[in-house]
């Protein structure tokens, strides 16, 4: 049996008009010889009657905090309504379908309401319906515990449901339908000629922090990666091919860099040994950060100094701690950490040199760098972010 999992997000199922597109996508896969298994999110966004956040607004903050079981049960209704509406409309197109809650779909979780972990997936019922010629339409984002408690998997969890179901059914692929064409080489608001990434590896997607997480939940990528099933991000309302996420990444074209993303609101801190002679707290600076829950990155430890970055949100806390510990430091506020991502940079000499040269030619000062197998990070001043990203996008010819 050639199985495809098709997951439709909240905006894709929000109106009758959009659900017609959903049905089109399901019909297409049937025509191509697939047995589709559909996973849906709650319909729409806050303000729309059955959206998750609208449902949440029906109960008090107190209940949300102290009665997670009730909160989960309420939230789960959004996806349940969505499955029933979808099935009703599929029926009117003569597509035989059956609505299933997460629990009926075999998603068994622990009792950790609000952020339940999936313990087991029992796909028998889904298989049975597939064999009988039905399209199972499963409520995403939810499961049931062995005690019968309805749980949710954490916000954005419908992607996770789709990935888990795909894995359990050994699906050929998992399509995630949303309101954008896929993952772009850069944020189109920053780079006018940013292009769609046709193919990207699981590992690269994790590096796409913000942009990636907006189109797909990282947990879903992890699950697909474990089972090697390709994930495809697609737009419900266009015929665009979308972005394929698989193990190899870009095999179609030979581009060195897959995409560029950035994180703003970083502060670079430099703490010099010479300025802190006789202060033994200087030696433990990284422990002090950890004890105070200040997350740091781009960490460079030298014999003469320590350099790292913190988030602007931790700045006041950091200044306080430094005063108390009497540690002297220098900082550059308002920095951006630019990530240049590409599976193929591994072992290719000269990539860093090209990046630095390109930025230097534009008079952009690089404050710090770091690198891994798939990514090179450059810290620049926030005011130069747009110029830096555009420069690199052009340097590596990532436009259409």
SS3 category, 261 = strand
Bridge partners of residue 144, in order along the sequence: 108, 150
52 is in an annotated binding site: yes
Least Å distance between CB 9 and Mg ion? 5
Which of ligand ASP, Mg ion, none binds 134 (CB below 5-8 Å, type-dependent)? none
Nearer to Mg ion, 21 or 368 (CB): 21
79 is in an annotated binding site: yes
179 is in an annotated binding site: yes
Kindly tell me which residue out of 78, 102, 105, 136 binds ligand ASP, with binding defined by CB under 6 A.
78
Which of ligand ASP, Mg ion, none binds 142 (CB below 5-8 Å, type-dependent)? none
Segment lying near Mg ion (by CB under 5 A), choices 81-89, 102-110, 148-156, 270-278: 148-156
382 is in an annotated binding site: no
For 14-48, the DSSP string reads SSHHHHHHHHHHHHHHHHTT-EEEEEE--SSSTTS
Nearer to ligand ASP, 14 or 343 (CB): 14
**Residues 215 and 183 sit within 8 Å (Cβ to Cβ):** yes
Nearest residue to the partner Mg ion, using Cβ: 156
SS3 category, 139 = strand
Contacts of 290 (CB under 8 A, 6+ apart): none
In terms of DSSP H, where are the helices of the chain? 16-31, 52-56, 61-66, 68-92, 124-131, 158-168, 202-207, 209-215, 218-227, 285-291, 315-325, 351-361, 385-395
Applying CB under 6 A, does 42 fall inside the site for ligand ASP?
Answer: yes
Which of Mg ion, ligand ASP, none binds 140 (CB below 5-8 Å, type-dependent)? ligand ASP
Nearer to ligand ASP, 112 or 369 (CB): 112
Q: How many residues does the chain have?
A: 400
37 is in an annotated binding site: no
DSSP state of 184: B
In whole angstroms, what is the distance from residue 33 CA to residue 59 CA? 45
Window 82-141: residues binding ligand ASP (CB under 6 A): 140-141
Q: If residue 277 lies in a helix (H) or strand (E), which one and from where to where? A: none
Applying CB under 5 A, does 156 fall inside the site for Mg ion?
Answer: yes
Least Å distance between CB 112 and ligand ASP? 16
**Known binding-site residue numbers:** 7-10, 52, 79, 178-179, 189, 214-215
| Interface contacts to ligand ASP, rule CB under 6 A | 9-10, 41-42, 52, 78, 140-141, 155-159
């Amino acid at each position: 049996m050639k199985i495809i999992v098709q997951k439709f997000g909240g905006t894709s199922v929000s109106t009758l008009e959009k659900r017609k597109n959903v049905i089109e996508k399901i019909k297409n896969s049937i025509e191509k010889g697939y047995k589709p298994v559909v996973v849906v999110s709650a319909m729409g966004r806050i303000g729309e009657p059955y959206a998750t956040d609208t449902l949440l607004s029906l109960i008090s903050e107190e209940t949300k905090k102290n009665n997670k079981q009730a909160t989960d049960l309420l939230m789960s209704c959004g996806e349940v309504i969505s499955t029933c509406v979808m099935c009703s409309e599929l029926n009117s197109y003569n597509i035989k379908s059956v609505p299933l809650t997460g629990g009926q779909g075999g998603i068994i979780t622990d009792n950790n309401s609000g952020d339940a972990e999936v313990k087991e997936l029992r796909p028998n019922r889904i298989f049975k319906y597939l064999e009988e010629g039905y399209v199972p339409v499963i409520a995403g984002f939810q499961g049931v515990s062995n005690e019968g408690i309805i749980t949710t998997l954490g916000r954005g969890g419908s992607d996770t449901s789709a990935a888990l179901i795909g894995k359990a059914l050994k699906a050929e692929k998992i399509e995630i339908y949303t309101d954008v064409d896929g993952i772009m080489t850069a944020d189109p608001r920053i780079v006018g000629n940013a292009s769609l990434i046709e193919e990207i590896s699981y590992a690269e997607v994790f590096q796409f922090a913000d942009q990636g997480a907006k189109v797909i939940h990282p947990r879903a990528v992890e699950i697909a990666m474990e089972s090697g099933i390709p994930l495809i991000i697609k737009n419900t309302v266009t015929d665009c091919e979308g972005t394929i996420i698989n193990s190899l990444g870009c095999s179609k074209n030979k581009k060195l860099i897959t995409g560029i993303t950035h994180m703003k609101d970083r502060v670079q801190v430099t703490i010099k040994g010479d300025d802190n002679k006789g202060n033994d707290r200087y030696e433990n600076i990284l422990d002090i950060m950890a004890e105070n829950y200040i997350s740091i990155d781009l960490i460079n430890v030298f014999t003469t100094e320590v350099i790292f970055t913190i988030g602007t949100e931790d700045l006041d806390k950091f200044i306080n701690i430094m005063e108390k510990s009497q540690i002297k430091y220098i900082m550059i506020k308002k920095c951006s950490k630019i990530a240049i991502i590409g599976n193929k940079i591994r072992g290719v000499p000269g990539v860093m040199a090209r990046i630095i040269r390109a930025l230097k030619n534009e008079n952009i000062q690089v404050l710090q760098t770091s690198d891994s197998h798939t990514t090179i990070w450059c810290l620049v001043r926030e005011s130069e972010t747009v110029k830096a990203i555009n420069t690199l996008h052009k340097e590596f010819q990532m436009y259409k």
